[in-house]
Structure 1
């Protein structure tokens, strides 16, 4: 079970905030939970220097997990095949060509939410829980 989000919260988010949420809307609760679990695991692994599942004061915005879940659900078979290096498919004279590059593992909207969470406010403080120091 996901640590930081619930199906009910995600349902509310998608009902109120996301216009094209059908991939989420049509799922049963078991599949929704799988999507949330997978999204949370991927995001916390990818952003481990910024967020920590073991410390509730260092959780990422829930919206990032919801958007990551929808991103995963929107990926069709051609995207999954592309992740394995397939560059083309053909069936009965219909051909689909792909770049052969992996699609980003992180949803663009989740990235934007996390970047916004980490932005500096202009007074030296940060919206998020962490700041960057470049030396």
Structure 2
């Protein structure tokens, strides 16, 4: 099965609030699934395995995001409509909250050799005082 078919069957069987995906036409569904894949592989890296469930939640998230969220992604911080002010924090909303709970946030780490740190006391060559 293709990724699109896997995502569609996962959504049909497992996700209750999928109205926005169910109401979309076939072309829009395929675009959402492909875009969800691209966003997740860009965020988590191309070597990490992304499960179908994560792609499914991300596709629904992309279809249901509000216009104000799109504006926030473009840098808008405040919107006023008929006297009502909405302030948008500088939070990255490009990844679905369900996906973040499943896969976690992307974190980085420096990979240093033990000799390049202060924790090299086990090696007598580096344990000498200057």
CA contact (8 A) 1:89 1:96 kept: yes
- Determine whether 1:33 maps to 2:22: no
Tell me how far 1:100 sits from its aligned partner. Answer: 3.8
* Unmatched 5+ stretches in structure 1: 52-58, 116-132
Point out the structure with max Rg over C-alpha: 2
The correspondence for 2:3, drawn from 5, 8, 14, is 5
Q: CA deviation at 1:16?
A: 1.7
| Deviation of the 1:50 alpha carbon | 4.6
Q: TM-score, normalised by structure 1?
A: 0.66
Which runs of 4 or more aligned residues in structure 1 lie more than 4 Å from their structure 2 counterparts after TM superposition? none
What is the TM-score of this pair, normalised by structure 2? 0.68
- C-alpha deviations, 1:25-55, integer Å up to 9, x for none? 110111111111111111112111652xxxx
Structure 1, 41-50 or 25-34: larger mean CA deviation = 41-50
**Match status 1:99 vs 2:96:** no
How far does the alpha carbon of each residue in 1:50-76 deviate from its partner, in whole angstroms, 9 at most, with x for none? 52xxxxxxx421111111111111211
Count of residue correspondences: 106
Measure how far apart 1:78 and its partner are.
0.7
Cα distance change, pair 88–62 in 1 and its aligned pair in 2 (3 A): same
* 1:22 counterpart = 2:19: yes
Query: What's the offset of the Cα at 1:107?
Result: 1.3
| Counterpart check, 1:45 vs 2:42 | yes
Contact 1:61 1:114 in 2 (8 A): no
Distance change >3 Å, CA 102–CA 13, structure 1 → 2: same
Unaligned ranges ≥5, structure 2: 105-110, 115-130
Q: Which moved more, 1:16-25 or 1:106-115?
A: 106-115
**1:69 has 2:52 as partner:** no
- RMSD across aligned C-alpha pairs, in angstroms? 2.4
